[in-house]
Amino acid sequence: MSEQEVRKVQDVQQAREVQNMREVQGVREVQGVREVQGVREAPGVRAVSIIGLGPMGRAMASAFLDKGYRVTVWNRTAGKADELVAAGADRAATLHDALTACELVVLSLTDHHAMYAVLESATEALSGRVLVNLGSDTPENARSAARWASGHGARYLTGGVQASPPDIGRPGFSTFYSGSKEAFDAHREALEVLTGTDFRGEDPGLAAVYYQVGMDLFWTTVLGWLHALALADAHGVPAEEILPSASSVLAGMPDFLAHYTPRIDAREYPGDIEKLTMGVASVDHVLQTARDAGVDTSLPRAVLEIFRHGAAAGYADSSATSVIEVLRSRNPARYTSGSQA
């Protein structure tokens, strides 16, 4: 055998040894595409699996890759992983492989219905995993999901991300977490690759509570702003001209909230600065202005109805913040009656 033939045989043997080693480690290459085969990580390896590769899931996977993590990705539409694989991620051949590739599994799915639809086909692979669900849903659904995960041997964390995909991995943003404190402590360093962390307690529903409270405030504020712009537009005033006054109103809100928050926690609503009767008159004027301009009146009508319920319940001379007593009750007949002087 010639020297050239000997070298060729040696090269083939070496290539086989490398391939065997990669398959033992749980990764193989098929035509240059890396796929993980479902072997649990070695001790000390910084690894994470990402399930769901929408804009948020892809941003999270990229952030982990940037920090040197071994990232395994899986998505029902496999092609969404192509760019991540090119950047160094391992594409799981199956959902089972993605779940068993490492302990920490981050779910970036729409809601818990999507979680069940995806994971039900591989529940046998959940035992020993830490599931971090960063999709949006209700507190009760989060608690049910935690019980479901526990029934399959997994620890569960609910997350409420307060960042958009472009903000993942950047300072100044945070995520609410709740659920298994042990799991949170074990993987806090990894979770802080994405955003800052704010653990709210072991109740799996708490992170969803904090997140949905923020969404409640955000969307009602946005809707109020849009209604104000529609009202301005009906009078020929463009949004750009409203921007300074709208910004001024919102800039005063932190002081407003700081003043009234202790009173609301104490359930005290003295009408020393403003009264609900003033609010009723003010919102009625907004309603009439919108009606005269041909603008939709659904929003001011809803606000006026709540204010009038509060006044009828005995809070007319109390602060407008007293309507929280109306909002606390699903049944108008159960409103707490009586003014707070």
62-110 per-position pLDDT tens digit? 999 999 999 999 999 999 999 999 999 999 999 999 999 999 999 999 9
Q: Distance (Å, rounded) from C-alpha 225 to C-alpha 243? A: 10
Whether residue 187 has pLDDT greater than 60: yes
Using a 10 angstrom Cβ sphere, with 0-12 exposed, 13-18 middle and 19 or more buried, the burial of residue 165 is middle
Whether residue 335 has pLDDT greater than 80: no
- pLDDT bin (cut points 50, 70, 90) of residue 249 is very high
Rg (CA), the chain: 28
Whether residue 251 has pLDDT greater than 90: yes
Query: What is the rounded average pLDDT of the residues 138-165?
Result: 97
- The predicted pLDDT at position 278 comes to 98
User: Torsions phi, psi of 275, nearest 5?
Assistant: -125, 155
Output the DSSP codes for 277-326: HHHHHHHHHHHHHHHHHT---HHHHHHHHHHHHHIIIIITTS-GGGGHHH
- pLDDT bin (cut points 50, 70, 90) of residue 272 is very high
Whether residue 192 has pLDDT greater than 90: yes
Find where tokens 């472009």 sit: 166
User: Would you put residue 225 in left (φ > 0), alpha (ψ -120 to 50) or beta?
Assistant: alpha
- The predicted pLDDT at position 39 comes to 43
Record the pTM.
0.83
Task: Tell me, rounded to whole angstroms, the distance of Cα 74 from its chain centroid.
Answer: 20
Round to the nearest angstrom and report the end-to-end CA distance of the chain: 105
Give the start-end residues of each E strand in the chain. Answer: 27-30, 33-36, 47-51, 70-74, 90-92, 104-107, 130-133, 155-161, 174-179, 196-199
Give the dihedral sign, CA 292/297/301/303. Answer: negative
Whether residue 264 has pLDDT greater than 60: yes
- The predicted pLDDT at position 37 comes to 43
More confident residue, 145 or 20: 145
Amino acid in position 290: A
